[in-house]
Chain A
Amino acid sequence: MRLLLTRLAALLPVLFGVCFLSFALLSLIPGDPVTALLGLEADPAAAAALRAKYALDQPFLLRFIVWLGNVLTGDFGRSIQTGRLVLDMVATALVPTLELGLCALLISLVIAIPAGVISASRRNSLADFGASLVALFGLSLPSFWLAILLVLFLSIRLSLFPASGYVPFLDDPVEALRHIALPALTLGVAMAAATMRMTRAAMLEALGADYIRTARAKGLPWRRVVWKHALRNALIPVVTLVGLQLGQLMGGVVVTETVFAWPGIGKLTVDAIFARDYPVVQGAILAAAVLFVLINLATDMIYAVLDPRMRGTP
């Protein structure tokens, strides 16, 4: 509990800083969202009324304080483009992004952890070399190129999966899985490559430890030594990396969601930036920052569970 509270206290200034930075950046973007909405020939009185409605005629600091105060009471404002509540738009977009992130995570763990374990336990073998090479290729592969190639082969040529679109899981699970397959694979491959390398490095370190030597001297089967004893300790840094990857998911989904027209928070943010829809951009960035902070917090908590030595560390 003390660890949780300490971490939360340290993260609040970061959240505030992110809010301020995003607000400042958006205020500096040239172009007037009211002009973008009403056009250059708009009635000046109507434009002035719209600016007053969204407080765009107020000084920057005042606008920020008002916005922050509203956010703390759950009011993220309304989209300048659509008039919809920003909170609704962000909450709606968050669901597909979280689905995509979790599927990508599942794919990456299913690939990376066994590959990393086998690679480390058969060091310098052909399997090790092959797995390391594939991981390096995965790290170097631009995700949007992989997305385009997956669309080309699996969607256009083989018609196995649709190239774009989203189906909520509860509406039709089978179609939902078909639609999420390509974007999740795109994200998952990049995550898997980094996770596999970390798993391999952590396993090599664990397999070199004295307790492993003892376990082998006691005559335990190699498979048991690797999967039961070494892997457990090797998972600690892997958990940290996976947490970091999830926290940075927002960066990865922006391009993937754009390529696959996935209606997640990345696509919402990019579309809003181009439309100068400031309230939506601020809401989306805040949501991404909160997600990042919460995932990091969860990672720290899981870390403390896995490694008892971390429980007292502030």
Chain B
Amino acid sequence: MTRDGRSAIGLVLVVLLVLAAVAGPWLSPYAPDQADFLATLAPPSWSHLLGTDDLGRDVLTRILVGARVSLLVGVASVGGALLAGVPVGLAAGYFGGTVDMVLMRCMDILLAFPGILLALGITAVLGASLANTILAIAVINFPTLARVARGQALLVRRLDYVKAKRALGFDNGTILLRCVLPNILSPVLVQASLLLASSIITESYLSFLGLGVQPPAPTWGNMLRDAISFLDQATWLAWFPGAAIFLTVLGFNLFGDGLRDRLDPRG
């Protein structure tokens, strides 16, 4: 399969996720927290395509609503990481010296901290909620983007047209925004697209451990956590949320790989 074929598949999966998140819950006849105690742990059927859980809630509806959470967390946390990481990396790479040393040592500290534990700690401090989950994942991701931005800024600042701008008397702010930033964005965005996948996994980890988005709001992570208690009776409770995470992450990975191959001049 060609590179373009793989990234096309990735794009299709991502688009399906977006469609599922946006339109899916409206298409379902059930509410995500609508319990039916006469149909608990029902296997997949025409009335409940992916079965029901221990409270008789429709699994398909909950997966579609969970898609919203995953997409929102992924996009918002990576967006936050970009907003924090790119300026840090730009400053470190462009100015160098003490600024670089101080900023990158701070990034090293955050990177040395086990990511999931840092996210756990942040959500434990601030409380388990959607906004705090987004913040926690943005915090663990932004050092990676800062490092990528710094590496690129180090290369770009040595280019002749940047030196020319400096010689012509342009201030550092103008040079950073108009010359350096546009030229570092491609690799940064590629890394960001790959971080989308890991952000979705981290959100599902946090929900699985009970420190992400709280019940009764369905997330793929807390659905998998609940599935463990019924593994021998209702395997679909483990299959479908896990498959949703897998296909979503696969889509973003394929798309990110394709983007990297397209933007990498050595490719």
Contact B245 A142 (CB under 8 A): yes
- Encoded as 1 (CB less than 8 Å from any B CB) or 0, chain A from 29 to 72 comes to 11000000000000000000000000000000000000000000
* Interchain CB contact under 8 A, A21 and B253: no
> Separation in Å of the B124 CB from the closest CB of chain A?
5
Stretch in contact with the other chain, from A1-9, A180-188, A288-296, A298-306: A288-296
Task: State A132–B124 Cα separation when bound (angstroms).
Answer: 39
* B249: contacting residue among A140, A151, A258, A269, CB under 8 A: A140
* Residue in A26, A141, A149, A285 whose beta carbon sits within 8 Å of that of B113 in the complex: A285
Are B114 and A273 in contact, with the CB atoms below 8 A?
Answer: no
Chain A contact residues, majority secondary structure: helix
Residue from the list B117, B125, B228, B231 in contact with A254, Cβ < 8 A: B117
Q: Are A273 and B253 in contact (CB under 8 A)?
A: no
Q: How far is the CA of A289 from the CA of B250 in the complex (A)?
A: 30
Q: Is the CB of A156 within 8 A of B114?
A: no
Closest A residue to B119 by CB, please name it: A251
A window 250-280: CB within 8 A of B: 250-251, 254-255, 258-259, 269-270, 273-274
Are B108 and A14 in contact (CB-based, < 8 A)? Answer: yes
User: By DSSP majority rule, is chain B's interface helix, strand, loop, or mixed?
Assistant: helix
CA A289 – CA B245 in complex, angstroms? 29
Binary per-residue interface labels of chain B (2-40) against chain A in the complex, 1 for a CB within 8 Å, 0 otherwise: 000000000000000000000000000000000000000
Q: Tell me, rounded to whole Å, the shortest Cβ–Cβ distance linking A97 to chain B.
A: 12
B94 within 8 A of A: no
Q: B114–A251 contact, CB under 8 A? A: yes
User: Are A141 and B232 in contact (CB-based, < 8 A)?
Assistant: no
Give Cα distance in the complex from A250 to B108, angstroms: 16
Please tell me which one of the listed residues A18, A29, A136 contacts residue B253 in the complex, with CB atoms under 8 A apart: A136
Contacts of B114 in A (CB 8 A): 248, 250-251, 254, 285, 288-289, 292
Q: Decide yes or no whether B204 CB sits under 8 A from chain A.
A: yes
Of the listed residues B117, B120, B204, the one surrounded by the most CB atoms of chain A closer than 10 A to its CB is: B117
Mask: chain B, 111-129; 1 = CB below 8 Å from A; 0 = not: 0111111101110110100
Closest chain B CB from A144 CB (angstroms): 6
Instruction: Determine the chain B residues whose CB is within 8 A of the CB of A248 once the complex forms.
Output: 114-115
Name the residue in A140, A250, A254, A292 with the highest tally of chain B Cβ atoms < 10 Å from its Cβ.
Answer: A140
Chain B hits for A22, CB < 8 A: 113, 121
Interface size on A, residues (CB 8 A): 42
Complex Cα distance, B35 from A253, in Å, reads: 35
Q: Which of A25, A139, A254 contacts B116 (CB 8 A)?
A: A254
**Most chain A CB inside 10 Å of its own CB: which residue of B113, B120, B224, B253:** B113
Chain B neighbourhood of A140, CB < 8 A: 197, 246, 249-250, 253
Known: A140-B250, A255-B209. A289 touches B121 (CB 8 A): no
Can you list, as one digit per residue, whether each of B211-252 has a CB less than 8 Å from chain A (1) or not (0)? Answer: 000000000000010011001100100100010011001100
Establish whether residues A25 and B242, one from each chain, have CB atoms under 8 Å apart when the complex forms: no
A26 to B122, CA, bound (A): 9
- Is the CB–CB distance between B208 and A139 below 8 Å? no
Could you say which of A15, A29, A145, A152 has the most chain B C-beta atoms within 10 Å of its C-beta?
A145
Q: Give chain B nearest CB distance to A94 CB in angstroms.
A: 14
B109 touches A288 (CB 8 A): no
Selected contact of B208 from candidates A14, A21, A255, CB within 8 Å:
A255
Kindly list 6 other residue pairs between chains A and B, CB separation below 8 angstroms, not including A21-B109, A148-B228: A25-B125, A140-B197, A152-B235, A250-B116, A274-B210, A293-B112
Instruction: Provide the bound-state CA to CA distance between A45 and B197, in Å.
Output: 51
